[in-house]
Amino acid sequence: MTIMAPLQRQRVLNAAARTVLDIQPGDHVTAARRELHWLPVIASIKCKLCLLAHKAVVGHASSYPADLLMPVAEIPARSALRASTHGDFAVRRPRLKIAFSVAAPKIWNQRPTELKLCRSTALFKRK
């Protein structure tokens, strides 16, 4: 089994939007995806990573993803010199390019503090 790259997945998503809404092959599909409420593939991946990180923070995730995320507050002071925002995770050195323990903290730390401190999953999804 092979894993499709995000660009290939985006092409499949675009083809599906064309099929669903009967759009001609040369026409743009951005408006069609908006009408269908479909996120671009990269945005969808980021959204899912943030949701999994949020569930780990509030205790709704299994122990495996929660164990892969280390809050900055738990790092010794000399290692966290530039970490000043609340709710951030330490970004570990990657062993794999797409490791959850690397990708999730990078994306999570870019979110606004208000979102990171949200305790309700339903509210987190809406924001």
Closest among 73, 61, 69 to 107, alpha carbons compared? 69
Q: What integer pLDDT is reported at residue 81 of this predicted model? A: 46
CA distance 60 to 109: 19
Specify the residue for token string 């949701």: 51
Asked if residues 108 and 53 have their Cβ atoms less than 8 Å apart, the reply is yes
The pLDDT of residue 64: 76
Q: If you average pLDDT over residues 70-97, what whole number do you get? A: 61
Biggest CA pair distance of the chain: 58
Beta bridge partners of 89: 71
Percent of all residues in the chain with a pLDDT value above 70, rounded to a whole number? 80
13-29 tens-digit pLDDT: 999 999 999 998 888 89
For the residues 51-78, what does the mean pLDDT come to? Answer: 75
pLDDT digits (tens, 9 = 90+) for 89-123: 777 666 655 677 888 888 888 889 888 888 898 99
